Amino acid sequence: MTFDRRRFLSASTLAGVSSTLFPGVLYTLSIQAQEASGTDQSKPPQITPEMIDQAAILAGIGPFTAEQKQMMIDSLVNVNGSMKAIRKLNIPNSVAPAFVFHPQPAAKPVPSTKTDSSKEFDRIELGGGLLTPPSAPDRPSQIEDLAFASVNELAKLVAARKITSLELTKMYLTRLKRYDSKLHFVVTLTEDRALKQAAQADAEIAAGKYRGPLHGIPWGAKDLLAVKGYPTTWGAGGFEHQSFDEDATVVQRLDAAGAILIAKFTLGALAMGDKWFGGQTRNPWNPKQGSSGSSAGSASAVSAGCVAFAIGSETLGSIASPSTRCGVSGLRPSFGLVPRTGAMALSWTMDKLGPITRSAEDCALVLDAIHGPDGKDTSVYPAAYFWDPNLDWKTLRIGYIKSAFDPPKPPTQHEPKPNETPEEKKKREEMIASMTVNRARRDYDRKYDLATLDKLRSMGINLIPVELPDLPYNAMTPMLEAEAAAAFDDLTRSGRDKLLTEQSADDWPNTFRIARFYPAVEYVQAARARTLACQQVSALFEKVDIIVAPTSGLQLVATNLTGHPALIVPNGLRGIDAPHPPKEDSGENDNIGGPNTPVSITFLAGLYQDAKLAAFGHAYQEATGFHKLHPKLD
């Protein structure tokens, strides 16, 4: 008798199985048992009553009678199943599924006129001679004094030919080499490419061919962006020598803007955390801590004054978290604003590429160069983008997520169970101790969040309380894990996942395995719930233009799912009275803090209102100056 997955599902239904999870679990168990035993896979897998019992437990259904189980077993045979046929295709990571996620509610079209937003620099016509742009600063006595200068400041100096791109490039390359042994943020220096680009930029500017504010400015790429002629490692063991024959779209666009790529920066393996095949990237403010991730090297290098700006990526916190830890500004753009062609795929419906810089203004300048359709990434929406640093932000309606700033609820009491064993007691006490420490850190940091609200009110802003729609956002995130497991399907099936640095229960190898038990029906149901989230979160921005929120917490999950843009900005340094961090950062907890380390605040905006978001962030930074703080490395 021949058999396929459809027949298997039908047989399960005949047996009275209503859970959509059960058939997928049972089918997978049978295949895995066959592969583990070395059985000839051309033969049907053997389904046993024990497998049915195991699958039922995982699915939360049953138990089944012996008769029901035998009825199922009698129907289960498989010859050339559809799963095997698809596996034989060996689909590369670069191939996206045959569906496209667009977060914009259908009733809210976005203007598609693309506008060049480099207003101040558009008016500069060098004409082959020396022309000083508005407010160009003087050249410093030492070129390294510019290590922590903003892109905007550097651009004016380069355009006025007070410094050269080659000088900047050599200075940043020297700093990268000097501090990499301490911070571990470089995977590959692109030195030859950079020096050639810098010399070309200087020649063009001297000839009056000025391309705009990124012309001649050194930058670094998160090493999930393909760069022809160099490895693209994805931070992962087993991929150290991987390379591609074409530059990522973002790299091409920054080349066209005249920016100088000087390094490819670390990321946690396959975009998780800050631990990669070469070690752990460090926080310049406290090198005993990791930089967080997964845009680990991008944030660390910008913070350390080793590059003018960098490109990171975020699926669920990978710009926000390292920007917070390293005290830099990060802009996670609206989903679909920046093409991801040539970037490693983790989740096709959640991945975003964005700038990590010193200031909101710098984020806006970089985003101007990289946004817009490329004809390849079909998720990109042709939304307008107009950066205006002089936007009258006082006309904006500013909201804040009230419950996120309210006093925390009393801690949950964890009473011992009856007949608690010594091992259970130890685990309970360790959990309570960990929760107590984490709560103390959150309570300490809360005053910085509240200070933001006070500062905004002092700026004349009438803050409007809002709340996120009451939806199960965390229950939607298995979509990410399922997509990631599909993106790295061959890694799991081949056993090469053992080459990844981290192997705990929360790391990718185990997550990929678990995701294989997530059924298609539940993925679709989560996607439908996500549609509700997109609609309801977008409705908030009918009431307000900007929302203020703590960087961590539920909003981070919600807005990554709904595709709304987020600007993460430095919000001061913890005092010497801050709770001390652990002696060693295990990477398991983002909120470890400690004296003299940065905190952040997040601003949110409506879909494709990224320029407006950056303009408000720019106003806040002008009023506070926190973005000008930088670590002392020597």
Question: Hey, which residues are catalytic here?
Answer: 222, 294, 318
Can you tell me the distance from the alpha carbon of 247 to that of 229, in angstroms, rounded to the nearest whole number? 9
State both tokens at 557.
């999950």
334 DSSP 8-state letter: P
Can you tell me the distance from the alpha carbon of 432 to that of 175, in angstroms, rounded to the nearest whole number? 43
Instruction: Give bridge partners of residue 313 from the DSSP assignment.
Output: 353
Can you tell me the distance from the alpha carbon of 607 to that of 107, in angstroms, rounded to the nearest whole number? 13
133 DSSP 8-state letter: P
Which of these, 206, 204, 208, lies nearest to 260 by C-alpha position? Answer: 204
State both tokens at 109.
């079209």
Letter for the amino acid at 156?
Answer: K
3-state secondary structure 441-476: HHHHHHHHHHHHHHHHHHCCCCCEEECCCCCCHHHH
State both tokens at 244.
């591609």
Longest dimension (CA), the chain: 90
**Helix, strand, coil percentages for the chain (3-state, nearest 5):** 40, 10, 45
Helices 610-624 and 360-370, packing angle to 10 deg: 160
Can you tell me the distance from the alpha carbon of 351 to that of 340, in angstroms, rounded to the nearest whole number? 8
Can you tell me the distance from the alpha carbon of 564 to that of 110, in angstroms, rounded to the nearest whole number? 14
